[in-house]
Amino acid sequence: MDLSRFTKVSDYEWRVEPFGKMRVPAVIYASEALLREMDEKVFEQVTNVATLPGIVKASYAMPDAHWGYGFPIGGVAAFDPEAGGVVSAGGVGFDISCGVRTLTTGLTVADVEPMKKALADILFARIPAGVGSTGSVHLSMEEMDAMLEGGARWAVSRGFGTEADLERIEERGMMAGARPEEVSQQAKKRQRDEVGTLGSGNHYLEVQRVAEIYHPHIAAAFGLKVGDVVVSIHCGSRGLGHQIGTEFLRSMALAAKEYGIELPDRELACAPIRSDIGQRYLGAMRAAINCALANRQVITHLAREAFATLFPQARLDLIYDVSHNTCKVEEHEVDGRSRKLYVHRKGATRAFGPGRPDLPEAFRHVGQPVLIGGSMGTASYVLAGREESEHHAWGSACHGAGRSMSRIQATKRWRGRDIIEALAVRGIEIRAPSLRGVAEEAPGAYKDVSAVVDAADRAGLAHKVAKLTPLVCIKG
Amino acid sequence: MPEARWEHFTHGADIGVRGIGPTLEAAFEQAALALAAVICDPARVARKDSVEVAVSAPDVELLLVDWLNAIVYEMATRHMVFSGFQVAISGEQLAGTLWGETVDVVRHQPAVEVKGATYTELKVYRNAQGEWVAQCVVDV
């Protein structure tokens, strides 16, 4: 990335003043090193987003930003319906509500280490992963609608978890305003056998050790201490979300002209919030959020069953469940006035600071957990939203490392078998349905997650709380 | 003129698929083969069963995206992988046939599923040699 086009606001904030058709500035939060490494496409995309109608304050990009579709991955933007604001299918992406949840286990590394291989085997046997895998839950169309309305609440009502889980999920387990009737039959058909499946690509279930604590007070509120074993689940709304993304991207791209919206890129497909198609998309997207929440809840239940066979004393309690690809209506203060904004986070995590009534009471005083996924051999992190973050990017932080190498390059450089063996030497058990999939997801194909997290911390987006390192990884 | 062929091209996080051929239809068929190869090696997939698809779109580029998305949909809902494709295009209409079989994880070793075909790097054109080229990035 050419830095000459930016104004340096601080060591971790870089600003592009509006030019051309930009309505607001673009702001990237990153260290100089991360910014230099970023794809030129991020500049193009973050400035394109700034041209959309009704955008408020700025178009933002997180430290892990990379080339996405329309919006960069790591892009955040808020739109005001009062000002003709839009909702963008491209601003949410294909994997609607893809996200992470992390659970404590009550176990220590000493408990798990001797049983690690058996644990990997049983998790891999019980949790459907990879292309073409189907779950044990097969939904009728009536049950599908109930799931799309109820999210994780639906899953708990069907025996997949407890009421206590719901308190620890964004939106308390159910996104309000879902409209299952706006989800096409095709999208529902794609989901019929996919509830409780991990999917593929960078989706995974990982058993992790708490390796370091940076902020003991917040870590204690989240229930984390060094040497503990936790479980993280990364997946999304599966085929249903992908199909909704595909269909609305197409119809919004065609409809934009009708609404007088000039799209610098077809992937920025959007429509006014106050339009028929905008409202239909919001209803379908919220149903997909519920699908993702239900999916992660069912997988949690399967993980609990797997743990119980080897560790009857284990108790998998949810710390929190966050989504990375969403558009949510939130109250934010703009120029001293509280406004209802449609905040798009694409490859970004909500990171509300302390005091927000939306947060569970147990950690309302320390801020929202921000769960940053790793990649098989690399660390994951737990961060916490801070009050300051709400002044930066609508209370948002990064979501992961972001790729630094294409899948094609990765398969040329590594073989899946070698990666599995190299990670085994480091004490990490990998189970995966495809060796090529492992090569494509090689840890070396990702940016340095620690550098991304440090940048988020120093930019004031979130506090760094804990570092998690992998013991077992079930790859999708 | 060289044979119809397919290739992948680099995208930061995902994969670009490109079909090249003497006709628009051949380019679309080859782009579909490139898509199939994102998931697994088409040489391992037997052409046991066929599936018919029909799509229509206001321009040829959208037609390509719709064609590839129809294949993604059939793969997802039928739990199949494909290795053979035939296309007939008439104006805004495309009729296609896909040949393949039910996915077998051990034998096919599918690496990754495709979420959808995108408008990124979406182009359908004739190159300097007069061949048709049909390409876009697919989200995996």
Chain A CB within 8 Å of residue B105 CB: yes
Contact A10, A391 (CB under 8 A): no
Contact call for A435 and B103, based on CB within 8 A: no
Closest CA to A449 of A388, A396, A397: A397
pLDDT at A135: 86
Q: Which two tokens stand for residue A252?
A: 């919004």
Distance CA A293, CA A160 (A): 12
Chain A CB within 8 Å of residue B10 CB: yes
pLDDT at B115: 92
Chain B CB contacts of A1 under 8 Å are none
Chain A CB contacts of B76 under 8 Å are 190, 239, 242
SS3 state at A90:
coil
From its phi and psi, is residue A383 left (phi > 0), alpha (psi between -120 and 50) or beta? beta
Dihedral of CA A45/A50/A51/A55: which sign? positive
Question: Where do we find the tokens 């992406």?
Answer: A93
- Catalytically annotated residue among A66, A203, A234, A399: A399
Tell me how far CA of residue A303 lies from CA of A76, A123, A306, A369, B129, in angstroms: 32, 7, 5, 21, 56
Q: What is the pTM of this model?
A: 0.96
Mean pLDDT of successive 10-residue stretches along chain A, which has 476 residues: 95 98 98 94 96 97 92 97 96 95 98 97 95 87 97 98 97 97 97 92 95 97 98 96 96 92 92 97 98 98 98 98 97 93 97 94 95 91 92 94 85 93 95 92 91 96 97 94
Q: Which two tokens stand for residue B103?
A: 């996915």
Interface test with A, best of B9, B113, B114, B138 (most A CBs within 10 A): B113
- Per DSSP bridges, beta strands A99-108 and A317-323 are antiparallel
Contact call for A406 and B113, based on CB within 8 A: no
Distance CA B127, CA B111 (A): 31
Chain B CB contacts of A434 under 8 Å are 105, 109-112
Q: What does the DSSP 8-state code read for residue A55? A: B
Q: What is the number of other CB atoms lying within 10 angstroms of the CB of residue A260? A: 9
Distance CA A453, CA A31 (A): 10
SS3 state at A236:
coil
Residues of chain B with pLDDT > 70, as a percent, come to 99
Chain A CB contacts of B116 under 8 Å are 94, 242-243, 245-246, 249
Q: Which two tokens stand for residue A95?
A: 């994997």
Window B:23-52, CB contacts with A under 8 Å:
39-40
pLDDT at A149: 98
Q: 3-state SS string over chain B?
A: CCCCEEEEEECCCCEEEEEEECCHHHHHHHHHHHHHHHHCCHHHCCCCEEEEEEEECCCHHHHHHHHHHHHHHHHHHHCEEEEEEEEEEECCEEEEEEEEEECCHHHHCCCCCCCEECCCCCEEEECCCCCEEEEEEEEC
pLDDT at A244: 97
Closest-CA residue of chain A to B76: A190
Closest CA to A120 of A387, A450, A376: A376
Tell me how far CA of residue A217 lies from CA of A222, A365, A466, in angstroms: 9, 11, 11
Q: What does the DSSP 8-state code read for residue A441? A: T
Chain A CB within 8 Å of residue B135 CB: no
pLDDT at A201: 86
Distance CA A14, CA B15 (A): 30
E strands in A241-376? 270-272, 317-323, 325-334, 337-346, 349-350, 369-372
Collect all residues with Cβ–Cβ distance below 8 Å to A56 and sequence separation of at least 6.
Answer: A24, A78, A79, A80, A83, A85, A334, A339, A341
Evaluate if residue B95 carries a pLDDT over 90.
yes
pLDDT at A476: 87
Q: To which H or E segment does residue A218 belong? A: helix A216-222
Chain A CB contacts of B14 under 8 Å are 406-407
Dihedral of CA A404/A235/B113/A283: which sign? negative
Contact call for A242 and B11, based on CB within 8 A: no
Closest CA to B139 of A69, A12, A464, A262: A69
Contact A451, A34 (CB under 8 A): yes
Interface test with B, best of A95, A124, A131 (most B CBs within 10 A): A131
Is residue A399 annotated as part of the catalytic site, yes or no?
yes
Chain A CB within 8 Å of residue B103 CB: yes
Chain A CB contacts of B62 under 8 Å are 250
pLDDT at A390: 84
Q: What is the mean pLDDT of chain B?
A: 95
Evaluate if residue B1 carries a pLDDT over 90.
no
- Across the interface, which of B72, B81, B105 has its CB nearest the CB of A433? B105
Contact call for B112 and A131, based on CB within 8 A: yes
Chain A CB within 8 Å of residue B7 CB: no
SS3 state at A267:
helix
Contact call for A95 and B115, based on CB within 8 A: yes
Evaluate if residue B8 carries a pLDDT over 90.
yes
ipTM above 0.90, yes or no: yes
